[in-house]
Structure 1
């Protein structure tokens, strides 16, 4: 129940009302009795009045008093017409109503709104002297802005309505013309709820078709940040089709500066998202701007999203590889020879032969690198037919190798052999890294009298690791022609979270085909498992062509993330390496002291400079362990080049600087379907209505029939105000002091 005294409004419940009244009557009676019994009636009377005043305030606070201020509008009731001026309004899919076009012409959404607002449909409302009608655009992109700023411009329906409610306190109704495709700010339903509380109905008029325009859109290109000069890099891309037919077309990748290009024939299925990739060979060092494009298909309505530019850097790089083996089998010999002759690879070999002892000669080391500063230099480690103990590696060394992969982003390659020594790795720290489950009862593996082939999986067909040909069209033919293998490891199945690139062509079990080539991510590093030791046989008839290419690609793929940005004392890598605005980037760093050992004490500071020149500093958190690993995160706010500078403490002389390129994906896109469901929900919440273009005449009548808006009412709760509490405490303190002065204890 409510009652008011002028501007003071009380909202007690029946219980608190009667309890308060009874309490006040009882306290008043006791106060009168105390005054009558007292010999100092004036002093006692003043104290009892003060006591009753404190009790009265407490009771009134239980009745939840509020101070009400009513603002009477000094102008006519207002009707606001908001119309969408975002870039999605340029989509040409709006059908004019019959009143404006006898043929119901299809025009851009912006033109539809312009013609409707300029027509006679709103004239009766504008000429009505009882209302003040005004038009206001929202989410218009900034004029003369650079492309990076325009890419961040979106549609904020909630913000537009919020601003309208704050600036106008005499609104009778709001008419909203929009496609409903909001992509920035909070959900627009929140603004509709505010309108409901103020009894302001929203009349929403959807503009545009809720079916996507016929279009081919290169929605994403996830190219690596760098590649090795003279080697192929894989450029994955995604094309979104809204056409009603399959499209056979040509995707073209072109260097903007040199004009060199590569093409690939593709077939884009109707109405689906198509994922593919194209190979590109880097020929020069430094940064190159490439453009991926497809021709405009017949019937396609939007042409500007058929191409996308990105930047990739070419590097000449030297990788450090460690090969650990127990016997000089053929696979080991040819891997060593292939890597040894690769000008971009520096290889060290550790031969742990059980009878003959350590291997010796050019490229051999005599012992396992026990110091962290010696081990951390290796980008990739090959583990052959080597186990724990019995002349192999120790458990402590296995722990170091695991830390090298997980904390230092190195890669590790497992190539088991006929002796089955790798079985002992299962119960070691390296066991978690092995991406397959091995059959301990068949440690010697399986041998066949005839050679067996391996078949690429769907993932393997699209992987750069298995790209042995110069073109993707040649690759399946090459794999079918490769010599087979006679022995393979006792693999049962691949573990969860792994990528199976190739399987046994002839052998299977209850889990399916036997995995032969498996990869996985472990911490910051990568793992590869090859289930046979006959890749050296790929040399038959072609010498080193395919064998050399395969292992070279393995080494570079596994070391890609580790070598994103490597300096003298800091190695920096980040995920994702091609972020978009709104993505959170994880920075990982490995820091070293002046002797090359992992940093034990010290801070890694990172200065991040955004494309608009603003710089902020973050401190990376140190990870547990002895590997000098640090990590941190920051958010990409805009597209363009982000400059990242990492230093140890204030030692800028040994810091590292790199550039992170954020892809300029536009938030506001043309050609996307309208979302009338959003507008319908807003209209329902605000007690308004969703109207189509042909029902605009009814809209005018409904608005004219609305009652005048109620005066704005502002209530200030006194029961929860700190001022009320302070006054009550002051009165209680005064009452206590008065009792002492009166001699009452």
Structure 2
């Protein structure tokens, strides 16, 4: 690189003024007819040029190598069939050919899985932007063409883009597509999942006929089988039967197509996680008599916007006997038949608050209550002194399901409620604010309780006076029963001796009775965060838990140990290897965990397709070549020339060398040394003087004329 530069020894105004003066002298000389005007004008211009300091700037150039980008798509869909071998063979051969080209560098980039699918366009745009456009000779991608970020493709590339397409021309696949699925659904109400079964690629004729077997199960239980048509959107009705996460697993049977099996069965199943929520919790509260704590339950339940409460209070004093029938004492008719026979299954919880057996409910009604609990209902008994008398619920047919039997003794003395070892583990009482520890007393005392003997299998989570059971809980059939053996909980609400967590305790008891997932004493929880990172929590009443057995989507199993972090809580952190449906098991406790989308995006479509990248390939002058036809040769072509073609044996693709270079040094050399400028100026001035003198001599007359 050679350039003419100027480095004036004086300000630019001086050479410029001298040049202007020289031009004026030339013009004047021409006007006066002087013969030496050209030489004198050149002498002045030469003087101006000498003051401008002209010099030659000589640059030293160093050639730069050309860059070829090789982008290898190694996402999950590229592990199917013969694709891994095609990728390895093509990468090795392309690298060998580029290494044989002079002054050419290879940039190898490997694209791996992302939770959003194959982000090939994003990776390609970043790779091209990272290299100088003056050195980029070509881009080669080895992919199945299935990308999920096509909007990120560059508008153009200043080099040929070639796509080496993996897979086989006769590949085909059947897939289950979840078009729409709800995130939440009401318990015991129908929700709908919209799905479709679709075929891609060269589907064999034998696989196109007939219907497809669709299998459905919720939380891995009660699988149902349906025959459904292909390529039709279907609304699948599902009914969620419990609160919390419900995993709906949907799958189709593998098609029978002889030797031509589909690419993968990973997209033949999907897992949809639906959170079950209750529309309204229906609670029936029956108060046996007016008392100081009656409003405690009513205020608690009425303050919860998710609770529909029906409350009846029996007003007849226990010491009054005037012969008036009990069904004539209510302000409104007590609809016992409707509530306890016809509509009892509509309630999620029935609370008996200091209820006495007085003949209002006949034995058959109590037997129906027993049936209601065994079928999944919930009963909560808040007892007072009546539990120790002849009107105790324990003496009714309902006594067979109560978690404790009264001894007939009422303890009338102040006591401090305490948590038992089971109580520190049970989610109803664990972590209650201000729970007493050792000799420290943080709760107020109660003044009265009934003495009871817990039934076998019942859990005593709180004790009272003389270390007797205060809160006893048990499961009966599919239902639950809890008994609070004192009617003094209202003292906490009034702040007696500092009070206590009255509302929180009663809320937990009620919601445990209604089977809220966060209050299950035996539970296996999975908190998913950060994509595939999972934190397991095993809640149990036992002294130990685990190991936890995990079954992966591919059928392989692994076990992880659980560590106790607090009473009744065992935890572990784990990272799943991939998205999919996982089965968790700890002894008899099982659950299903869905990680990632309903169906991983990598397997939504698996048949190789060039359509997504074809426009950019065409605009760049590149070519899409199927690797099933062989690995193409690599050639160097001129910029603007055709960059692909058919050779003698196979296709060829081209890259365009750029001949880029960089300047490594500069050297400046004066156009002429100072003495040469001086000689030039003097010579031009002398030539002008001689020319003018010779012309003057010719104009004089000869001597003697």
Q: TM-score, normalised by structure 2?
A: 0.35
Select the structure of larger CA radius of gyration: 2
Q: TM-score, normalised by structure 1?
A: 0.34
